[in-house]
Amino acid sequence: MNTFRKWEEFPVGPSGAVSGLHVTLNRRGEILLGARTFRKFGEPEQVLLLFERRNALIAMVPTTAKATNCYPLIAKRNDGHRIIRANLFCRHYGIAFTRTVAFNTAYIDDDGKLILDLRDVRAVTKPKRLIPVGV
């Protein structure tokens, strides 16, 4: 039996985030920075969000509490991760996902900006079931 199969390689190994920086975006427009990413990013109080349409990139620029047009990094628990409620930003630029996605190639550039590529993401939550289990 010689059937054609189209195999796909799973893009993430057992160590977690591909780039080493864990950043996710959920369907509500909340960006989550993992604790390690937050530390490497310099633990800013707030960030300015920038968008580059041509390459579908989001950049986060660390700022102080006195800056305008900035989003605070919210601590939900004591584990070190931070959340940015960027739903207005996402709606304005038409950024929407039906599931939570993780950025495969998140990195901090030479200017200290955290760069997120919307074209290089992977789903990290299960899709909603269309058929109930056991049917």
Q: Are 61 and 50 in contact (CB under 8 A)?
A: yes
Chain segment 96-126, per-residue pLDDT in tens: 999 999 999 999 999 999 999 999 999 887 7
Q: Is residue 29 part of a domain?
A: yes
Q: Is residue 42 part of a domain?
A: yes
Number of domains in the chain: 1
Q: Is residue 82 part of a domain?
A: yes
Domain assignment of residue 53, given as a range: 23-123
Cα separation, 48 vs 54, in Å, equals: 19
Q: What is the pTM of this model?
A: 0.79
Across residues 65-89, what is the average pLDDT?
89
Q: Is residue 17 part of a domain?
A: no
Chain segment 7-51, per-residue pLDDT in tens: 777 666 555 555 589 999 999 999 999 999 999 999 999 999 999
Q: Which residue has the higher pLDDT, 7 or 92?
A: 92
